[in-house]
Structure 1
Amino acid sequence: MNEHSTSDASTDVVRLDEGHHEGTGGLPERFENPGLPPHVHRLSDDSEGGAKRAERQVATMFGLSMLATLLFIVAYFAIDRTASIYLPGIGKANALNVSLGVTMGLSLFLIGAGAVHWAKTLMPDTEIVEERHVQRSDDATRDKAVGIVLEGGEKAQLGRRPLIKASMSGALGLFALPFVVQVAGSLGNPTTALSGLRSTLWDAATAQKPMRLVRDPEGTPVKAEDVTIGSVFHILPENIKDSEHVLEDKGKAAVLLMRLDPSQFMPGHAGDKSQSWGYQGIIAYSKICTHVGCPVGLYEQQTHHLLCPCHQSTFDATNDMNVIFGPAKRPLPQLKITVDDEGYLVAPQGFQEPVGPSFWER
């Protein structure tokens, strides 16, 4: 048994030694360099006519990109912001959003497709192997590297293909215009932005016809007796079911409802307002953080603090949701509530200030 085992081991050692060649010092030599596959010439490499055809194809893509960008600008101003269209498999969608998304997507896609086609048909595609070297080369090598870059630009035929250079510059330049138009037309106008933030579905509530508070997402009304001390409800206005732009309206009208012991409110003006706008310790505040608009949904029952999960802004529910920590600069807007004849919680009016990020003075 021992002899047989020794013989097998010896055989294994010999087989292992035969599997590679030893270099100096008994160490195996490096694997041979397999080299690079032979370069396959393209039509544009051997035919100036083929290169011209590729140039026209690339320029066409860039030109179509410019057309899509111009259509974006036209759609931005021409399409009614309340218009809707039906999309198969999706349902009703805002016509302006669809138009802007399609035109901007086409513009960006055609820029990318033109650049890829340019690289595959006209730019050099030979593979080059360069050994690693010391990070700081000598001046001669650095000058040589600059020369290689300049030579690469020459090989990419930028100088010889002015049509590509001009069309690419136009496509990239025009593609920036949609962002300029949106900033100048919407975000750049504080009055326009504020009017959007000031308007929520709660504005339909009046003293004569108050708006019921309903659970999100069930849509069922809430009675005051359902809200126990320490509990939190995610609330929407009852008319959310009739909204044609549910996501937008829900984003602005979302409310957090909670109940505190009335003795826990801080004395003074802030605490008085919290209680007078609430009902027997039940208070309702906008769910949208006044920093950058993240949903504030983390409630610490013991400290009565509301936390924003994005940037840790912290609001004090006992002190009119004033900011006690984090980057937010404004308290959460409070929604005034009461009860109707059936005991359901209702809002007799909308928010008295814009909801969401406080980029503008309120």
Structure 2
Amino acid sequence: MADHRDGLPQGKKGNVLDRTASAPETFQDPGLPPHRPRSTDVDSGAAKRAERQVALLFAVSIIGSVLFFIGYFGIRVDGDIYSVTDPEATSALRLQNLLLGGGIALGMLGIGVGVVHWARTLMPDHELVEERHDVVTEAQRAEAEQIMGTILDESGIKRRPLIRNTLIGAAVLAPLPFVGLLRDLGPLDLTPLRHTLWEDGVRLVRDPSGTPIKASDVTLGSTFHVLPENLSGLSHDDGYLDEKAKAVVLLMRLDPDTVNVSPGREDWNVDGIFAYSKVCTHVGCPIALYEQRTHHLLCPCHQSTFDLANECEVIFGPASRPLPQLPISVDDEGYLVATGDFPEPVGPTYSQRVIAVNEMEEENGN
């Protein structure tokens, strides 16, 4: 029987390509493209200018690190930074923030751009294809060592002392600002987290106005950011910010019939008004998001979610324990007051382990 597609060009059958008739048997390796030398490869003056530019960028990194240290150690912020009547404290804070942020930016940018400019202008840019193989024998180890030596030679770091010395200076100083910032994340002694300014009879006041709160002011579904009234008697030199960070509280009112209360905590709330620590138990971020319909509290940093209807147990996210609850009551004038401190330390869970170890060491020492 004759094929009705026989009239088509050779190598094709209808819409089907006969690959065996048209495909070549072998492919030739096109090889590497021709190398184009840079101006620094053929002009010693251009290479010298590039070397000075790289050294200048590393010097900028060093200057940035020095500016950070000036702002961190040299500028002291005294006074009330939140008061419009104390412009000196506000100006000092702004200058310090400028030096800290600008110093870190220059430190990282200078060393990063310097390394990139060094690689693009001075380091060899010829293409190289090499098969990867495992280093198993002594001869191969020696070969790998020789390759590393060749890399150092080609980088030019041995014959360019200006670049080498500025790079060493920038690399030594650049990480130090982060050491200072890590130190400021919190005190080395975490035992003070066990106690806050809350105690029996201390009124709950609004943040930042400092006005006391009556139970009748807290309507169903409302939320208040609360501080202890005795915090106002502290100055910044007395640890005002540290005590405020520990004692901040979220105050909310729920329908008592929708809340599960553990035995022994029946008198910790006032007709559905509950007070919980605002410090997330993951890494200590301030919790400020409240979903009224679901009764969920959310941490904006890492999305830990706490169920207010079940004593702030963790229902989502990396936090590993509920928010500490502040026991509250009402005084003779109808104002909300604390009946004691938090029953457990506030703050990240990891700090509780450190506190427990410190207390065990104190007990063993006694």
TM-score > 0.5 by shorter chain: yes
Change (3 A) 1:262 1:40: closer
TM-score normalised by structure 1 residue count? 0.64
CA–CA distance in 1 between the matches of 2:39 and 2:262?
Answer: 80
Q: Residue 114 of structure 1 corresponds to which residue in structure 2?
A: 114
Contact kept in structure 1, 2:190 and 2:355, CA below 8 Å: no
- What is the DSSP-based 3-state SS (H/G/I as helix, E as strand, rest coil) of the residue aligned with 1:8? coil
Superposition CA RMSD, Å: 5.1
Greater Cα shift, 54-63 or 327-336: 327-336
Q: Residue 105 of structure 1 corresponds to which residue in structure 2?
A: 105
Change (3 A) 1:5 1:68: same
- What is the DSSP-based 3-state SS (H/G/I as helix, E as strand, rest coil) of the residue aligned with 1:105? helix
Greater Cα shift, 66-75 or 38-47: 38-47
Could you tell me which amino acid in structure 2 is paired with residue 74 of structure 1? Answer: I
Q: Residue 274 of structure 2 corresponds to which residue in structure 1?
A: 283
Q: Residue 20 of structure 1 corresponds to which residue in structure 2?
A: 23
* Identity among equivalent pairs (%): 33
Is 1:80 aligned to 2:77, yes or no?
yes
Q: Residue 63 of structure 1 corresponds to which residue in structure 2?
A: 59
Q: Residue 85 of structure 2 corresponds to which residue in structure 1?
A: none
Q: What pairs with 1:1-362 in structure 2 (closer than 5 Å)?
A: 4-8=4-8, 10-12=10-12, 16=19, 19-22=22-25, 29-30=26-27, 32-77=28-73, 78=75, 80=77, 95=94, 96-132=96-132, 134-136=133-135, 138-184=137-183, 187-190=186-189, 209-211=211-213, 222-223=218-219, 226-227=220-221, 234-237=223-226, 253=248, 255=250, 257=252, 258-261=254-257, 265-268=261-264, 271-272=265-266, 275=267, 277-293=268-284, 295=287, 328=320, 332-334=324-326, 336=328, 338=330, 347-348=336-337, 352=341, 355-357=346-348, 359=351, 361=355
Change (3 A) 1:212 1:177: farther
- What is the DSSP-based 3-state SS (H/G/I as helix, E as strand, rest coil) of the residue aligned with 2:139? helix
CA–CA distance in 2 between the matches of 1:321 and 1:20?
Answer: 70
CA–CA distance in 2 between the matches of 1:198 and 1:107?
Answer: 40
CA–CA distance in 2 between the matches of 1:348 and 1:317?
Answer: 21
How many aligned residue pairs are there?
310
CA–CA distance in 2 between the matches of 1:170 and 1:254?
Answer: 46
CA–CA distance in 1 between the matches of 2:167 and 2:38?
Answer: 23
CA shift for structure 1 position 286: 2.1
CA–CA distance in 2 between the matches of 1:330 and 1:263?
Answer: 15
CA shift for structure 1 position 73: 1.4
Q: Residue 217 of structure 1 corresponds to which residue in structure 2?
A: none
CA shift for structure 1 position 66: 0.8
CA–CA distance in 2 between the matches of 1:3 and 1:162?
Answer: 79
Contact kept in structure 1, 2:61 and 2:111, CA below 8 Å: yes
CA–CA distance in 2 between the matches of 1:316 and 1:291?
Answer: 17
The Cα offsets for residues 123-166 of structure 1, whole Å up to 9 and x where unpaired, read as 1111111234x435554344223212211101111110111111
CA–CA distance in 1 between the matches of 2:259 and 2:149?
Answer: 76
CA shift for structure 1 position 172: 1.1
Contact kept in structure 2, 1:278 and 1:337, CA below 8 Å: yes
Greater Cα shift, 97-106 or 67-76: 97-106
